[in-house]
Structure 1
Amino acid sequence: MKKVEINTVFYEFDSMNELELEDMKLMEAAIEIRKKAYAPYSKFRVGAAVLMDSGTIVLGSNQENAAYPSGLCAERTAIFQAGALYPDETIRKIAISASSDLKETKTPIPPCGACRQSLLEYETKQTEPIEMFFMGASGVVFKSPSILNILPFHFDKDSL
Structure 2
Amino acid sequence: MGKKITQNISLTLLDIHELDEKEIELVNKAKNAMNSAYAPYSNFMVGAAILLENDEILTANNQENASFPVGICAERLLLGYAHANFPKLKPLKIAIIAKKKGSDKYATVSPCGLCRQTINEYEVKFETDIQILMYTPNDQILKAANISKLLPFKFNDLNS
Tell me the amino acid that sits aligned with residue 12 of structure 1.
L
What is the alpha-carbon distance in structure 2 between the residues aligned to residue 47 and residue 86 of structure 1?
20
2:10 is matched with 9
CA displacement at 1:158 relative to structure 2: 8.2
CA displacement at 1:46 relative to structure 2: 0.4
CA displacement at 1:155 relative to structure 2: 1.4
Tell me the amino acid that sits aligned with residue 10 of structure 2.
V
What is the alpha-carbon distance in structure 1 between the residues aligned to residue 14 and residue 57 of structure 2?
22
Pairs within 5 Å for 1:99-118: 99-101=99-101, 105-106=105-106, 108-118=108-118
Q: Taking structure 2 as the reference length, what is the TM-score of the superposition?
A: 0.90
What is the alpha-carbon distance in structure 2 between the residues aligned to residue 137 and residue 84 of structure 1?
32
Tell me the amino acid that sits aligned with residue 124 of structure 1.
V
- Where do 4+ consecutive residues of structure 1 move more than 6 Å? none
Residues 98 and 106 of structure 2 are in contact (CA less than 8 Å); yes or no, is this contact kept in structure 1?
Answer: no
What is the alpha-carbon distance in structure 1 between the residues aligned to residue 19 and residue 46 of structure 2?
20
2:135 is matched with 135
CA displacement at 1:148 relative to structure 2: 2.2
2:149 is matched with 149
CA displacement at 1:105 relative to structure 2: 4.7
Number of residues paired by the alignment? 159
What is the alpha-carbon distance in structure 1 between the residues aligned to residue 91 and residue 66 of structure 2?
32
Q: Taking structure 1 as the reference length, what is the TM-score of the superposition?
A: 0.90
Distance 1:101 1:58, change over 3 A: same
Distance 1:43 1:19, change over 3 A: same
Residues 97 and 107 of structure 2 are in contact (CA less than 8 Å); yes or no, is this contact kept in structure 1?
Answer: no
Residues 129 and 146 of structure 1 are in contact (CA less than 8 Å); yes or no, is this contact kept in structure 2?
Answer: yes
User: What percentage of aligned pairs have identical amino acids?
Assistant: 36
Tell me the amino acid that sits aligned with residue 7 of structure 1.
N
1:41 is matched with 41
What is the alpha-carbon distance in structure 1 between the residues aligned to residue 156 and residue 81 of structure 2?
20
What is the alpha-carbon distance in structure 1 between the residues aligned to residue 138 and residue 28 of structure 2?
11
2:67 is matched with 67
* Residue 90, structure 1, aligned to residue 90, structure 2: yes
